[in-house]
A and B are shown apart, each in its own frame.
Chain A
Amino acid sequence: MRFLFAICILFSVQVWGQDNPATETPKTDPAPAATPPSEEKKEKPSAGIAVSPSKIIFDGRPGMTQTREIKIVNDSKKTEKFQVTPMDFSMGRTGRPENMNQTVLKYGLTKKLNISPSYLEVKPGETAKIKVTLNIPDNEEANIAGWALVSIDQVAERPPLDTKGKKDAVAMGIIPSYAFVIYLYHNPPTVINNNIEIKNFAYKDTLGTKRLKMIAENLGDGIGFCVSYCELTNLKTGKTKKLNVKTFTILPGNQRDFFYELPKELEKGEYNAVGVVDFGSDKEIKAAELEFKIE
């Protein structure tokens, strides 16, 4: 009996002691450490201007309106001004300037875009937003892809150039500025023709640099957001090696050339290479096969 009573008391004491505010020692924050005088006025370093996102992909159907936002964060110490301009562009296989012909303009997005604001000031520490609205016409002709770019261009003021009062001198002033390019793509889910073909897949040994070259062409009306990879198999040893995955964009009617650098430690011998391009179709991917010899 006494034992049972003692157990009851002990149990109650333990329970009582679990949360009894009256017995807890109040927590006090430690006194803040004294800040050395040299650190008191330390300024946060400037990180410049950040823009996000770097690419916008619209996927609306004909008749829809879609809006996306571009954010500009000013993490510098002064107010920056920006001019925002949409423009159509052409991107050929080598990037050489091409005329903005009707084939290109067919896919131009600027005529469907509305951007607001087109001029803005962003103070230090502030974030500004730019609305990009795509109005997709409600007709069959809108069932094709489109692209454009938006330039977010720093507006740099031109200060006076000091010619030191000499009118027989040549005085030249360079005004540096920077710009961000945001790519806009529209790939409607109803695009009729979505097709990438591998036109060429070859082994190249140029001045000792060994690599595989692939040429892919977009034969459809949709943008190919492609993922490509290549797998090598040594025909003698059976060893396989997967090369780095490539991600790239092929616009309709365009070709892209790209290279796979072969590892320098690759042994001499005969190889089989399989190059694969996944262009986002849920029905198929494209592949090409090649046999070559490293000597």
Chain B
Amino acid sequence: MKKVVICAAAFIAFSAIANKSFAQLQDEKNVTITMDLQPILQLDMSTPDQIDFVFDDIGDYAGGITKYGATILKVSATVNWDLWAVGTSNNNMSGAGDFWDVQASYGVLTDVNTASGTANSATNEIPLQALELHQHGANLSSAAATGTFVDYSTAFANPSSQQTGAAVGVGATAVAWQPGQNNIYVPAGGAAAVYTIPSDAEKFIQGHFDPTDLIPGGSYLTQSFLNATGNANGQPVASGAEMISAYYNVIDYRIVPGLPVQFPLAADNDATLQNLAAQNSVETYAAPGVYTMNVKYILAENQ
């Protein structure tokens, strides 16, 4: 009996020394976890501060100047979104007219052809629609759009096709110029119109006016490009289509002054001609000078 008691005491003594194994206290603490999911729009634009077009050569006037890949737009968003481009200027936003801003004007604004007596007007009111854009890859969501051109993906037409009305090119690449096919969207109605979503008859880069025309949330960082057989992101595409991503948009710019300098390709998306001959007279041409305009790329959640 004594030995049993001694062993039990030894057992208890050793157990007391090993405090941690027997000293586990039961304790509860509650932690509240809060998750706040905010909708985010993110845009990364790579472009020069100013894209310059200096026409000092006859060939440049006739064929125009093209700046390839001058702007790259990379989009990431957690919500459905639309992306569009707007051509604007101080004149446009103030309601003075849809013209380029004049920084310097060198020409005589009005003179008279002494032989015919007809006024040769050198004007410094150049239409904003003189600027053409081309996007690499089509708008992936514009089924409900009603305009002739729903985006800027149509290839630049040969300027001579505007004069002849005929397709210019070889084989399948022969295309005829159509008014409005690449001309930048110019809103009417002052500053508020610049930021208001364009109508279903205008051009967008991605998405469109209709609430069902949208690009789903995603990112150029993770959305794969299209391949020849389909789109891994679930967007419909024809087999063999150019590899594009709605989240990565490359933009080309072109201006064709023409000879005489009337900007013959200037037009609205509804095919209304905006060249100087149509808006003024056949004798009107653009005066030498320095002109500027703004191109705004606007990203908004689909509504």
Asked if B22 and A15 make an inter-chain contact with CB atoms under 8 angstroms apart, the answer reads yes
Chain B 252-290, CB-CB to A under 8 Å as 1, else 0, gives 010101000100000000000000000000000010111
CA distance A175 to B70 in the complex (A): 11
Q: Judge whether A236 is part of the interface by a CB distance below 8 angstroms.
A: no
User: For residue B300, which residue of chain A has the nearest CB?
Assistant: A181
Asked if B297 and A176 make an inter-chain contact with CB atoms under 8 angstroms apart, the answer reads yes
Cβ–Cβ < 8 Å partners of B51 in chain A: 173-176
Asked if A178 and B199 make an inter-chain contact with CB atoms under 8 angstroms apart, the answer reads no
Cβ–Cβ < 8 Å partners of B79 in chain A: 54-55
Assign chain A's interface to a size class: 35 or more
User: For residue B192, which residue of chain A has the nearest CB?
Assistant: A87
Q: Judge whether B225 is part of the interface by a CB distance below 8 angstroms.
A: no
Q: Judge whether A153 is part of the interface by a CB distance below 8 angstroms.
A: yes
| Dominant secondary structure at the B interface | mixed
Name the contact of A164 in the complex, choosing from B56, B73, B188 (C-beta under 8 A).
Answer: B56
Asked if B41 and A50 make an inter-chain contact with CB atoms under 8 angstroms apart, the answer reads yes
Cβ–Cβ < 8 Å partners of B189 in chain A: 97
CA distance A100 to B15 in the complex (A): 86
Asked if A246 and B50 make an inter-chain contact with CB atoms under 8 angstroms apart, the answer reads no
Cβ–Cβ < 8 Å partners of A9 in chain B: 14
**Known: A91-B197, A168-B106. Is A181-B298 also a contact (CB below 8 A)?**
yes
Residues of B1-52 at the interface with A, using a CB-CB cut-off of 8 Å, are 3-4, 7, 10-11, 14-15, 17-18, 20-22, 38-45, 47-52
Name the contact of B192 in the complex, choosing from A16, A88, A261 (C-beta under 8 A).
Answer: A88
Segment from B111-119, B169-177, B208-216 that makes contact with A: B208-216
Segment from A29-37, A41-49, A129-137, A194-202 that makes contact with B: A41-49
Asked if B298 and A175 make an inter-chain contact with CB atoms under 8 angstroms apart, the answer reads no
Q: Judge whether B228 is part of the interface by a CB distance below 8 angstroms.
A: no
Q: Judge whether A187 is part of the interface by a CB distance below 8 angstroms.
A: no
In the complex, 17 of the A-B residue pairs with CB atoms within 8 angstroms, ordered by the A residue number, are: A1-B3, A5-B10, A11-B15, A15-B22, A16-B18, A71-B38, A97-B189, A97-B199, A168-B106, A170-B54, A171-B54, A172-B291, A173-B50, A173-B52, A174-B131, A178-B297, A248-B211
A-side residues, CB < 8 A to B, are 1, 4-5, 8-9, 11-12, 15-16, 18-19, 46-55, 71, 75-76, 85, 87-91, 94-97, 100, 149, 151, 153, 156-159, 161-164, 166-183, 209, 211, 246-249, 256-261
Using A5-B7, A97-B199 as known contacts, list a sample of 16 further A-B pairs with CB atoms less than 8 Å apart, ordered by residue number in A: A12-B17, A16-B17, A47-B42, A48-B76, A51-B41, A52-B41, A54-B39, A95-B196, A96-B200, A97-B196, A170-B54, A171-B53, A173-B292, A176-B51, A183-B301, A261-B212
B-side residues, CB < 8 A to A, are 3-4, 7, 10-11, 14-15, 17-18, 20-22, 38-45, 47-56, 61, 70-71, 73-74, 76-77, 79, 81, 100, 103, 106, 126, 131, 143-144, 146, 187-189, 191-201, 209-212, 221, 253, 255, 257, 261, 286, 288-301, 303
Q: List the 7 closest pairs (A to B, CB-CB), nearest first.
A: A48-B44, A12-B14, A15-B18, A248-B211, A95-B199, A181-B300, A54-B301
